[in-house]
Amino acid sequence: MESIFLILATICYALGTVGYLVYLFREQDGVHRTAWTFLLAGAVLHGGAIVLRSVDRGHLAVTGSSEALSFFSWLLVVVYLIIQGRIGLRILGTFVSPLAVVFMLASRILPETILPSNAILRSTWVTIHVISLFSANALFAVAFCTAVMYLLQEREIKQKRFGLFFSRLPSLDRLDRIGRFCLLAGFPLMTAGLVTGFIYANSVWRSPWNWDPKEIFALITWCIYAVLLHERLAVGWRGRKAAWLAIFGFSAVLVTFLGVNLVFKGHHTVFIR
């Protein structure tokens, strides 16, 4: 049943993405409503598949790169639907939904790795650690999308070439405020994810820090977002600089999230392969 749910969710995400791409060119309520409905249906089906798989495995189903990408794709859609419901920026779906489809398709391509359930994977600390970090990454992905939208809009304005993006994208100020909100919401979640990871590492390996490649890259990524948060709040950074650092930060997220899993071996190999 979960496989059917995943296939249907992928189809819904793809149809939602097509709808949002159409919405970029045809600003009609019906087009947006259809695209939004497909994304919502995909998220419901996808969530159901994750629950079924987690119950079957006896732990949260994120123990392989395939499952991790699938879980991240689901959270990205959920975070987008929540943000869309609060701010009503429909065009954001045109940039977020393709990203969700890419991660979902990648999860379908990568071979699935099934780890036997054990006490480590069933730990509440591990569950909080994973959900916090993945939620932060989803918010940073939305910040990445708003940063791209910001740079596109800024280029149209600077070049005085008032084309499609200028007419369809919101003001630079609004995009900057959305990116700032995602950072303010995502950074505490990322910090909570790292802290719970350190607490659990200390209980299992007798040390909160073990020079694990995942730990090192995660700390580097945290530092990047800490700099961005500091520069925004203390120095007053906004606009182009903040947009580029949001893009750089999400690139670091991808390296930590995917690259480290595929290249390096360490303690996290116990959790994800």
Confidence bin at 200 (pLDDT 50/70/90): confident
Average predicted confidence (pLDDT) for the chain: 89
For 159-183, the pLDDT digits (tens) are 887 888 888 899 999 999 999 999 9
Confidence bin at 234 (pLDDT 50/70/90): confident
Residue 228 near residue 246 (C-beta atoms within 8 A): yes
Q: What is the spatial distance between Cα 230 and Cα 37, in angstroms, rounded to a whole number? A: 38
pLDDT exceeding 90 applies to what percent of the chain?
60
Q: What is the spatial distance between Cα 135 and Cα 5, in angstroms, rounded to a whole number? A: 22
For 202, residues 6+ apart whose C-beta sits below 8 A from its C-beta are 208
Residue type, 93: G
pLDDT at 118 over 80: no
What pLDDT does residue 273 have?
Answer: 54
Q: What is the spatial distance between Cα 88 and Cα 84, in angstroms, rounded to a whole number? A: 5
For 238-271, the pLDDT digits (tens) are 889 999 999 999 999 998 887 776 766 666 665 5
The predicted model scores a pTM of: 0.91
Higher pLDDT, 160 or 121: 160
What pLDDT does residue 203 have?
Answer: 81
For 204, residues 6+ apart whose C-beta sits below 8 A from its C-beta are 120
For 128, residues 6+ apart whose C-beta sits below 8 A from its C-beta are 192, 193, 196
Per DSSP, the three-state class of 66 is helix
Tokens of 155: 């280029």
- Which whole number is the average pLDDT over 186-196? 95
What pLDDT does residue 111 have?
Answer: 74
Flag the least confident range among 37-41, 107-111, 179-183, 240-244.
107-111
Q: What is the spatial distance between Cα 273 and Cα 67, in angstroms, rounded to a whole number? A: 10
Q: Does domain 1-117 have CATH number 3.40.50?
A: no
For 158, residues 6+ apart whose C-beta sits below 8 A from its C-beta are none
Q: What is the spatial distance between Cα 225 and Cα 245, in angstroms, rounded to a whole number? A: 8
pLDDT at 34 over 80: yes
Q: What is the spatial distance between Cα 131 and Cα 136, in angstroms, rounded to a whole number? A: 8
Quickly list DSSP for 185-228.
HHHHHHHHHHHHHHHHHHHHHS-S----HHHHHHHHHHHHHHHH
Burial, 1: exposed, middle or buried (Cβ in 10 Å; 0-12, 13-18, 19+)? exposed
pLDDT at 83 over 70: yes
The DSSP secondary-structure symbol of 269 reads G
| Every domain of the chain and the residues it spans | 1-117, 123-272
